[in-house]
Every structure is written in C-alpha cells, then in structure tokens.
C-alpha cells in the first residue's frame, strides 16, 4: 500500500486527551500513514481546518470523543476524505458501534490496515450527527455532564448525571411524524438514533445498524422512578418490546414538533432546537473499521 498522508486532530480536552500518542503514531508510521505536521486548531475551528488542509491529505484522523467527531462531521462529508478514529472520549459510542478498540495502539492498527466502510449519518435541521439526536432528558444530562464529571467518573458519569436530572426534568408534549403517520404524545425523552449506541453504551434498538439507511425513533413516556429502574435493562439493550411505556418507530424522514421550542442534543452537544426535521443520509462517509465489523455486516455490506 502506498504511503498515505493524514491530518490528525487530538482533542486535549477529552477525557483521555492527555494520553501519550507516541506509540499510536509509531504504529501509523510503520503502517505507511504519515501524519502531516500541520498545527491543528481547537475544536471550534476543527471543521474549517479540515477543509483548508484537505487537498494535502488522504485521510483525517480524529482523536476525541463523540462530541469531537460531531464537530468534524460537516467538514468530513464535504472534504470526502475517509475518517480514522482514536477513541479519547468518555462514551466513545461511535467507536463502540464500529467495533473500534478503545486501546489507542489497537485503534491505530485499524487505521493502518486501511479497511474502510461507508456509514450513514443523520441530519437534523441541516446538522449532521453520527449516533443520536434527542430532545428532553438527555439535554439536561448533556448540560450537566461537565469535563470534570467525565474525568472523575468516566462512563459512570452518565447514569449518575441522569439520576440527578430526573428530579428536575419535566415531561413535554410532542408530535412525531414518521412513515407518513402522526403521533401526539406526552414524553420525557425522544431519541432518534442513526448508529447502534448512544449515551455511554445504551442501545437505541436491538437490531439497529449504522449502515441500514434507517433511523430508530424511541419515545419514553413519563413514569415513576421505580418503573424507570425496572425498564433500564430493556432500554440498555434496545429491547423495547420488553419495556413499559416505550414507543419505537423506524423510518428515514422524521418531524418532531413541541408546544414550545426545546433544545436538541446531537452526539452529546446541544446544537439546534425544535421544530426538528431529521433525515438519514445513506453511506455519507467512509470510516476505517476493523475486519470484525466488516464481517459482522455480512456479504451484503462490503467494505467501501
């Protein structure tokens, strides 16, 4: 394989951003990936930096969590370059969906091997997302799950923050249009998943996939604390048929309207508000993945 030139952005503010990247970079070098010595910006200028440097690179490597990847999404699509992921975040839900190892040396080997697979992206009000767009309880969690909580508690920070947010969050009324039908409901959370995992390892649906051209919509009705605790195992593994007061749809184009405009969380960052128009963008981006992920998708989902 000829030498490939890579743009590398590592978010030093992510939970594992202070880790020594030297062993991972050595694996990349030995695998024929040369990291360009361009000084990267902070995450707020990440997209502009990718677009400014795209003509010099063959791929983009992003070291960070799901929020960092979300910040790069628009530019990655526009640049048309394949993405390599070094999981440096707390949840690393996209890496989990794609079976990318959390060990940075092993993740670098995935990039060096050069296998790519095209994945879908979701788009809400023009904003791309990898894993999930959600309204309600998760926005409270995203706002309260600060850097210090993530660094201290890791992925356990999600249920701990959720527990605190439950006491302050109120139900809201919403209308969902999906597959040509409309549903009016009272809910505490609406999640629209593109990938398989979100929220620190939660599964949006047991058979969800990031390359199936579909979005999974899940609404959680108001319920008492005991009932919610009983529902948690089913919610954790996306087994909605076993969960009480949960509704699930699968579609390609969704509208969500609320009585008052509410913030929307995409991949852990609040980026837009309702009303929301959400669509799936099939095979929007090529991502470096391990052979195990390609094998799991079967012969109908060949590598890109």
Token pair of 229 as six digits: 């605790």
Residue 202: name the closest of 166, 227, 238, 161 by CA.
238
Q: Is 1 exposed, middle or buried (0-12, 13-18, 19+ CB in 10 A)?
A: exposed
* Spatial CB neighbours of 299, under 8 Å, sequence gap ≥ 6: none
CA torsion sign for 117, 64, 72, 22 is negative
Among the listed residues 38, 175, 255, 269, the single catalytic one is 269
User: Using alpha carbons only, what angle is made at residue 84 by residues 80 and 89, rounded to the nearest 5 degrees?
Assistant: 125
Question: Measuring CA to CA, which residue among 114, 6, 3, 112 is closest to residue 57?
Answer: 6
Annotated active-site residue 175? The verdict is no
Q: How far is CA 227 from the centre of its chain?
A: 28
Distance of CA 8 to the CA centre of its chain: 19
Catalytic residues: 269
């Amino acid at each position: 394989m000829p030498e490939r030139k890579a743009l590398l952005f590592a978010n030093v503010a992510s939970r594992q951003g202070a880790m020594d990247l030297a062993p991972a970079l050595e694996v990349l070098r030995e695998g024929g990936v040369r990291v360009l010595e361009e000084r990267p910006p902070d995450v707020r200028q990440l997209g502009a930096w990718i677009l400014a440097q795209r003509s010099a690179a063959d791929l983009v490597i992003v070291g960070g969590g799901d929020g960092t990847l979300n910040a790069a999404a628009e530019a990655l699509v526009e640049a048309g370059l394949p993405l390599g992921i070094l999981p440096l975040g707390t949840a690393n839900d996209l890496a989990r969906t794609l079976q990318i190892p959390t060990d940075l040396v092993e993740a670098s080997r995935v990039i060096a091997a050069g296998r790519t697979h095209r994945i879908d992206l979701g788009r809400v009000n023009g904003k791309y997302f990898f894993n999930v767009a959600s309204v309600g309880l998760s926005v409270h969690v995203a706002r309260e799950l600060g850097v210090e909580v993530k660094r201290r508690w890791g992925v356990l920070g999600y249920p701990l923050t959720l527990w605190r947010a439950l006491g302050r969050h109120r139900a809201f009324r919403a209308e969902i249009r999906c597959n040509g039908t409309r549903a009016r409901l009272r809910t505490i959370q609406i999640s629209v998943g593109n990938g398989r995992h979100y929220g620190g390892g939660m599964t949006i649906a047991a058979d969800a996939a990031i390359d199936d051209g579909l979005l999974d919509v899940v609404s959680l009705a108001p319920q008492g604390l005991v009932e919610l605790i009983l529902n948690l195992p089913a919610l954790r593994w996306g087994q909605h048929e076993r969960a009480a007061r949960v509704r699930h749809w699968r579609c390609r184009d969704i509208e969500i309207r609320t009585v008052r405009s509410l913030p929307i969380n995409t991949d852990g960052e609040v980026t837009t508000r309702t009303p929301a128009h959400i669509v799936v963008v099939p095979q929007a981006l090529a991502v470096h993945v391990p052979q195990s992920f390609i094998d799991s998708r079967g012969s109908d989902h060949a590598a890109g």
